[in-house]
Structure 1
């Protein structure tokens, strides 16, 4: 895994407006409780003596957790915004998503960090930056489910997870080991053919349940009789990007070869 922070933002509605300070205290205490089940997240990475895979030093150094007010805007009005809301998601993160650099530079970096933003309506945005070296999507999903169960006062023991995901299916780790020196370049650093750089644009597309169902029907084939949501939506976006690139780069609409890459979960 490349040593970089991956950003995630979770939005939660609250039908009964609550004082921001009370929400923060509840989230803070429940976060500390959840970390006892996922104790490696509170540690720091250390380079192994052999110089191969890093190890987690479980020193209980903790995780950053900050709090912010959402201003005068309600959560509903924010989520109903257009594509431009993508550019404003950064304010919900604990710090900018960035490359950490070499393994030597990540030894003092937290494994994960959180930022809670409370809207006037009582809605909450939880921003997460996870270090994509030991933590993966499977682990953070289990952690967020556990944290939510503790906040609700539910049965946390019924929630799967804990330090177990870190030892899950260890064979996959040996088959596909992390390459310590790899650092994924930021999008801003990628150069175009012929040199130079182009402005990168981010767009947000919302597909409702009816649209996704329609795409799944259209994506059916003999080789793929039951396409999933990600396959149907991803296929449409990929096809659209290829078509747009062909129109922009060639008068006759010549389509160059392309590759669509999707990360897979090796823990199940």
Structure 2
């Protein structure tokens, strides 16, 4: 597949940012994020009345410019560890032609080529002293007329929830549904959780993976858990005494068990007998008030779950119970302590974020969910997305990471592991009984 980059532009806000908004203050949790771009690729099917690509691109650029006026920090650049200068420097916008039919690209999805649809290398840690745009966009035009919008979002102020709000705003402007725009709140996160002098903690947090080798032999696979099988897993968990097992809890626990089994030979090392799961939790959903719902920022928290002696005979429902308890501890009371007691940051928070409560050299797994955020409802004017993708194979990656994506059929798990461990995962009959590996995209859906 060849990608031909036709143009690269800077899209600036349609109106200048007001003087009172020239400095955007970061919140406490923004200060813990690594300087990386997280990716998202949104695929749109060709329709019979598809307008010329030049017109599509013009609409996208004009609406992006208006969206950047509303989301003014995204047009700025980070000035220091505490703030962003909102001087309307803009977002990077690229156009690229892809010499392939979208049906060929997606049947099955060619993960080894996926990153060509992105404007920069995803998940690579960038130097903190480098001045970087907050958002980059690459609009890819396939031979058939289909479009894939690839985004790389700097983690400075955007988590998945914030990214979804931005995309809803951009797409609503583009399709003429301005009445559906939800006004973002840029002040509540920093007022609730002001950024403090967290250099000591931040250094420790960023060194959590210091002992985890970045492996070039890592790869990525997609596994689809359809709704029927998810409901079956929920039913099993209910029968084992769990009152309200969620899709996320049963699927992530099931995947985690079989990832551990796939790594079991390495886990025999006495120095690495503990498995630590970091589940990235949305703070907005854990606070007892709706005031944070439209807030922008990295309002996310790692719920730490420790597993011992997991093997192929482990009951997945037991892992769900442990996960349910630990995620339950990430609640309004916790965040009120963070908000109201600055010293709390240097005790319980530091221990939680730096894994002090576990033994040395644990095996680390990271799970996050991008479900229920509305990504599959993003309509720029030519219908709902055909498919939402995360990223492709990268040259270097930290192993044992899972991103759960919402699909029309159920939940799609994007699993990054060392190549030999992925082979072990795919050779596990019980795992594949529930996971449909590399399903083809259905191009005949009537609802998209």
Could you state the TM-score of these two structures normalised by the residue count of structure 2? Answer: 0.50
**Match status 1:6 vs 2:26:** no
Change (3 A) 1:182 1:139: farther
Please say which of residues 175-184 and 3-12 is displaced more in the overlay: 175-184
Change (3 A) 1:122 1:198: closer
The answer as to whether partners of 1:70 and 1:118 remain within 8 angstroms in 2 is yes
Displacement after TM superposition at 1:223 (Å): 6.4
Match of 1:89 in 2: 114
* Partner of residue 146 from structure 2, selected from 123, 127, 136: 123
Match of 1:64 in 2: 92
* Partner of residue 43 from structure 1, selected from 76, 81, 98: 76
Structure 1 vs Structure 2 CA RMSD = 3.1
Match of 1:31 in 2: 64
Partner deviation per Cα, 1:117-171 (whole Å, 9 max, x = no partner): 12233322111111111222121100111111122221x2322133x1x323446
* Partner of residue 168 from structure 1, selected from 178, 188, 195: 188
Partner deviation per Cα, 1:232-252 (whole Å, 9 max, x = no partner): 2211110101111125665xx
Change (3 A) 1:220 1:173: farther
**Match status 1:261 vs 2:278:** yes
**Match status 1:201 vs 2:219:** yes
The answer as to whether partners of 2:267 and 2:273 remain within 8 angstroms in 1 is no
Change (3 A) 1:221 1:112: farther
CA–CA separation in structure 2 for the residues paired with 1:69 and 1:182: 43
Q: Which has the higher strand share?
A: 2
Partner deviation per Cα, 1:188-245 (whole Å, 9 max, x = no partner): x9429xxxx6721211112222232223323436664222222222111101011111
Q: Report how many aligned residue pairs link the two structures.
A: 247
* Partner of residue 15 from structure 1, selected from 24, 32, 47: 47
Could you state the TM-score of these two structures normalised by the residue count of structure 1? Answer: 0.79
Any idea what SS the aligned residue of 1:217 has? helix
CA–CA separation in structure 2 for the residues paired with 1:133 and 1:153: 29
Identify unmatched segments of 5+ residues in structure 2. Answer: 1-32, 285-292, 294-448
Change (3 A) 1:178 1:3: farther
1:205-220 aligned within 5 A: 205-220=223-238
Identify unmatched segments of 5+ residues in structure 1. Answer: 48-52
